[in-house]
Amino acid sequence: MYKRDDDLLPEEMWVTNVQVATVWTNPQSAREMDRDGTENPTNMEKWVTELTDKEKVALCDENRIQSQLLYGEPVLVTEIRDGFAHVIIPSQPSKKDGRGYPGWVPAKQLAQVNKVEWVKPLTAAVQTKHAWLETSEGEKEMMLSYLTMLPVEAVGDNRVEVQTPSGKKYLPKDAVHVFSTEEGVDPGDGEAVVKAAEGHLGLSYFWGGMSAFGYDCSGLSYAAHKANGYRIPRDAGDQAKAGKPIPLDAIRPGDLLFFAYEKGKGRIHHVGISTGDGKMIHAPQTGKGVEIISLKGTKYEDELCVARRYWE
């Protein structure tokens, strides 16, 4: 079951204080054109739509972005330098660090909270593509992404009161799923994993993306599993080495399919989610959106090398 790993976090812990915080390779990775993604507040919608495809491709080719964090997501801060904080993300497993995914985030996009006051018996997870965080008066304050998770203060008739880095706010009740923080999200089956991914059909690919403003291939597979109670590695290469190995003739909906260069014999470069009948849903590349395709007759048919199952 998916639940936060709070044991690693100190009493005075750090959490993300913008709708989405991008995790950069180093403090010099962000460009002037990326200001909508590096300020506080961010404007993710404007940033990801106004970058040209060439500028988006450079985020990958020039090794600028590593991952992303959602609002309220806890991190370990190991260093602050040049206005950036080096963070470890416990919720995103990685071979790069046993504690979680490492990278650099603008320090202004983080806030310190007291763990005792932050961790509540109930947690609210955004279930819609986006949901507006509201003030007590109903003023829309911040557009949050799918799977943003915040501590619950109270559940009302129409709204859920949540704790945020800037105090108590509200989310529409019909936009969130409230679950036990201790027990985590109830696990779903393979069909539920597929359904979670299908909610993002058409969403534009974004390198390093981990939000409903844009996913990359492994970000989509990570999110579809997180929505169903499973914590899996963040990167495709790590995802391909964990989970349950599945023979390529026994693939079922919800299984992850991995693709490698040199007709399946080289380095793994892509992951998709099987929807059954030789098809998959995936976030393909910059300039394209999340789609369902048949593998037959495509490069993916020759490059398929490994399948893994994380769902029960």
Residue numbers annotated as active site: 217, 270, 282
φ, ψ for residue 263, nearest 5 deg: 55, 45
Whole-angstrom Cα distance, residue 13 to residue 151? 14
Nearest C-alpha neighbor of 74 from the set 14, 17, 126, 118: 14
Where b means 16+ CB within 10 Å and e means fewer, 239-261 reads bbeebeebeeeebbbbbbbbbbe
Nearest C-alpha neighbor of 112 from the set 67, 170, 69, 72: 72
Q: Which residue is associated with the tokens 């990958």?
A: 60
Where b means 16+ CB within 10 Å and e means fewer, 186-222 reads ebbebebbbbbbebbeebbbbbbbbbbbbbbbbbbbb
Residue 70 to residues 31, 61, 143, 145, 269, Cα–Cα distance (Å): 21, 24, 11, 7, 25
> Does residue 256 contact residue 310 with C-beta atoms inside 8 Å?
yes
> Does residue 229 contact residue 245 with C-beta atoms inside 8 Å?
no
Q: What is the DSSP code string of 245-258?
A: E--TTS--TT-EEE
